[in-house]
Amino acid sequence: MVSVDFELRKKVMDAHIKDTLKYCYQCARCTDVCPVSKVTDGRYDPRQIILNSFLGLKEAIFNQESNFNLWGCTICDTCDEVCPQKIGLTEVFAVLRNMSITMEEGPEYYTSQASTIYDSGKAIPMQTAIERRRDQLGLPKIEPPNIEEVQKILNETNLNKILKK
Ligand code: SF4
Ligand code: SF4
């Protein structure tokens, strides 16, 4: 049986700008234009995620089998542009993803990328081959990031605790 999680519902509503979530009338324009929904034959369905969030159906959102529902969005913002009620779907998805990460349910590719940024200060660390090629092309040297500063900022977001650094 599916249960309603009022705390989840409140968290999403509180975090969502101007509480507009409740004005969704399930017209499905978001799903119609969503490129991820198209290539997955509707397996990914933003309209359904919005409905589940509004109803507080935690088990339908945070569930390993349906993890794709939470992480499939590419944040292209097309749904936000067409939604007649200006719901701001991607903001809701960001709130849900943050909750998923806090529950340690985030996908491995996501946490490993975050870990790389934490360790090197960059999403793609510099490599000797890239530096050599830049030299050959006469491009200027790239200054290394101040990793301590990057980590200080990330620690403020508690990312170090999530990544167990
Ligand atoms: S387009 Fe907007 S109003 Fe329509 S179902 Fe999607 S979120 Fe709801
Ligand atoms: S932002 Fe996400 S849900 Fe919205 S259209 Fe793009 S991929 Fe689909």
pLDDT in tens, 95-125: 899 888 888 888 888 889 999 999 999 998 8
At 6-19, the pLDDT tens digits run 777 777 777 665 56
What's the pTM value of the predicted model, to 2 decimals?
Answer: 0.79
Length of the chain: 165
Beta carbons of 23 and 87 less than 8 angstroms apart: yes
Q: What is the mean pLDDT of residues 42-49?
A: 93
Q: Ligand 1 centroid to 87 CA: how many Å?
A: 7
Cβ(73) – ligand 2 distance below 6 Å: yes
First to last CA, the chain: 38
pLDDT at 69 over 90: no
Task: Give the residue among 91, 63, 68 at the shortest CA–CA distance from 2.
Answer: 63
Question: Hey, what CATH topology would domain 6-102 get?
Answer: Fumarate Reductase Iron-sulfur Protein; Chain B, domain 2 (1.10.1060)
3-state secondary structure of 1: coil
**Residue type (1 letter), 68:** F
Instruction: Return the best residue to mutate from 87, 92, 93 for the ligand 1 pocket (most ligand atoms within 8 A of CB).
Output: 87
Task: With both helix axes pointing from N to C terminus, report the angle between 89-102 and 46-55 in degrees, rounded to the nearest 10.
Answer: 70
Residue 45 confidence (pLDDT): 94
Residues of the chain with CATH 1.10.1060.10: 6-102
Average of per-residue pLDDT values in the chain: 88
Nearest 5°: the CA angle 48, 51, 55 is 140
Express each pLDDT in 134-162 by its tens digit. Answer: 999 999 988 889 999 999 999 999 899 98
